Amino acid sequence: MKYYLSVDAGTSIIKTVLFNKNFDLIFISSVKNKVITDEYGKSEIEMNKFWSLTSKCIKSCILHSKVNPLNIDAVGITGNMVGAWPIDNANKPLRNAILWNDTRSEKVFNYLKKRNKKIFENIFSISGSVVQYGCTLPIVKWLEINEKNVLKKIKYFLTCKDWIRFKLTNNIYNDLTERSVSPGDIKKISFSLKILNLLQLNSKYLKKFPEARHSYEIGGYVTNNASKQTGLEVGTPVAIGAGDVPSTAIGLGAIKKGMCSSIVGTTCHNFYVSDKPFFKPKNSGLLFYSPNKQWLRTMINVAGTTNFDWVVKNFYKEKSLGNLNFLSKIEKKFQNYDINNNNIIFLPYFNYGGTISPFFNLNAKAEIFGLLPHNDRDDILYASYQGLCLSIRDCYEALNIKVKSLSLSGGASKSKIFPQILSDVLGIKIIIPYGEEFGARGAAYLASVAIKKFKNLNQVANKNKKIKKIFSPNLKNKNYYFNKYQKYLKLRQNLANLW
């Protein structure tokens, strides 16, 4: 039996996933990675420690799966996107990696906005995305102001998966899915001199970025040193790979124009597959380039299932810290829940950075509205599920497209009640695809194309697309959710100025 090994490096958890030739999950290893934060918006990772954890995670997966490394055909890589992972002329880290959720460049934008009040709008018109403080080019600007001596010594800016690939192969590349959200020109899938000018950055910094290749190309082969550290066989091909959002879309089989999919985990990504760049609605959401030569118009709520976690943490004191099945147990009693007694509206913008979809307001906050004396903690928890589903409807309606069905993945897809609530709120079928670890699966798909096992991504995705379960809307709840959605919209619109 032949296998694919994928590395999926999240912000705080690194996973190594082993798939067989049919892309069935055989074994998974994971390790927590410490993120260094402070009250000023810092979010960093020590790069050498990160690689040490990653290499040990790979070795653990191979060892405990008892798979012969000779039978691993290729390695796929995906990881958290953008940020800055700087290396010097000796290809060693110059400082800690700065992650996508670092917000210290906010002060840079506050300064730039004094000269150009429409800087966010100007960047969106080129990139199709609301620029995030942790994107690569804003970080370069922050380094220019705060760490000029470090910036001078930087040979290359890498991203998370680029660093992993370099440590495995000793080759240095970027990939096109990350280049376009640096932010860059999403139409040309490259850097934009206009955006550099908007950020008051010299074009000389472009020399600090390595060659960008397609995600489905081979990025190199496992070296002797990497083999000793990971247990992988010397010479095993390593694919270029893609960022976590495009990789997950590919793993889900979202490769056809018009397909819609929501990935609901810690964050909530709602995307639409397009054959060309899709800029509507203006100044909202993100636009990713997919390795399938398509674009993913993405409406994101940074707070996903964290809304449920907060309610449980603060209202269910009997929850034991180690009981991962606690929420599942609560959901059982909701299966015959009477929604007509619950008029609470929960706005799920539960984070410090507001929201960029389906509207742009960095001050937006979570709200619990409409409490009555008969309401209890179960009502609040159920309303948080509804609120997240209503926000998903809000995101898709902002795209002004016809959603016929929706593929759902992430932690929420395993919920006993969330998929049905979402189906009722949207009034469409919710499809739960067969499988798990779709980001890693997408990386394995890309690796299989890189080594010519499949001609292209369409072939591999279509061959391995399976459905686990389908949820259909309960028509009895149609009027309830129509009315609740109208109230939801009015509430978040009227709060815009108060936030």
- Give the predicted TM-score (pTM) of the model: 0.92
What's the mean pLDDT in 451-460? 96
Question: What pLDDT, on a 0 to 100 scale, did the predictor assign at position 317?
Answer: 80
Residue 322: pLDDT above 60? no
pLDDT digits (tens, 9 = 90+) for 140-162: 999 999 999 999 999 999 999 99
Residue 349: pLDDT above 60? yes
Q: Which two tokens stand for residue 192?
A: 């934009």
Question: What pLDDT, on a 0 to 100 scale, did the predictor assign at position 319?
Answer: 61
pLDDT digits (tens, 9 = 90+) for 241-280: 999 999 999 999 998 999 999 999 888 999 999 999 999 9
pLDDT digits (tens, 9 = 90+) for 43-87: 999 999 999 999 999 999 999 999 999 999 999 999 999 999 999
Predicted confidence band of residue 432 (pLDDT cuts 50, 70, 90): very high
CA distance 398 to 229: 48
Q: Which two tokens stand for residue 71?
A: 């039978």
Whose tokens are 């259909």? That residue is: 472
Contacts of 473 (CB under 8 A, 6+ apart): 423, 424, 426, 427, 428, 429
Please give the span between the terminal C-alpha atoms of the chain, in angstroms, as a whole number: 57
Question: What pLDDT, on a 0 to 100 scale, did the predictor assign at position 354?
Answer: 87
Residue 247, judged by CB atoms within 10 A of its CB (0-12, 13-18, 19+), counts as buried
Mean of per-residue pLDDT scores for the chain: 95
Rg, C-alpha atoms of the chain: 22
Among candidate residues 219, 271, 276, 266, the one with its CA nearest the CA of residue 246? 271
* Torsion sign over Cα 390, 391, 392, 396: positive
